[in-house]
Amino acid sequence: MTSATRIIQTLGGHGIVRKRAASYGAVVDRVRSGLPYAALEAVATRYGMSQEAVVRVLRLPLRTLGRRKKDGRLSPDESDRLLRLARIGATAEEVLESRDKAVAWLHRPNRALGGRRPLEMLDTDLGAHQVEQILGRIEHGVYS
């Protein structure tokens, strides 16, 4: 399981969570109250995602994205989907031992996903679970 510290770093650092102590509870509390828009920008930049890709993964209409940027805060549901993206990205970084390798892997079509890119699967919980299973197999040296 990916550490709370790594997830917080992926979301943009301790300022996002507003607590120095890195814990899953702090992340959950922050998601429930809505992550700041800056967390979305941090994750998108970290994983080389276009605005269109972010909108697709978070299932967020462009107009709503504009409102969230203006307001500076995501809703709890949107925050939860962003957390899923950040968690999978952080896991990919841990397993592949490099952010560059994780970014390339997330953007590359994957045979185990029927030729879909891992990022394309993160718009649903079940799709994210499939991506996590593949990362687990990679981590344990099982051919995927």
Per-domain boundaries in the chain? 4-139
pLDDT at 143: 64
Tokens standing for 62?
Answer: 């462009």
CA distance readout (Å), 56 to 8, 26, 102? 22, 27, 19
pLDDT at 99: 96
pLDDT at 14: 85
Residues in the chain predicted with pLDDT less than 50, given as ranges, are: none
Give this prediction's pTM: 0.92
Tokens standing for 11?
Answer: 């979301």
pLDDT at 51: 85
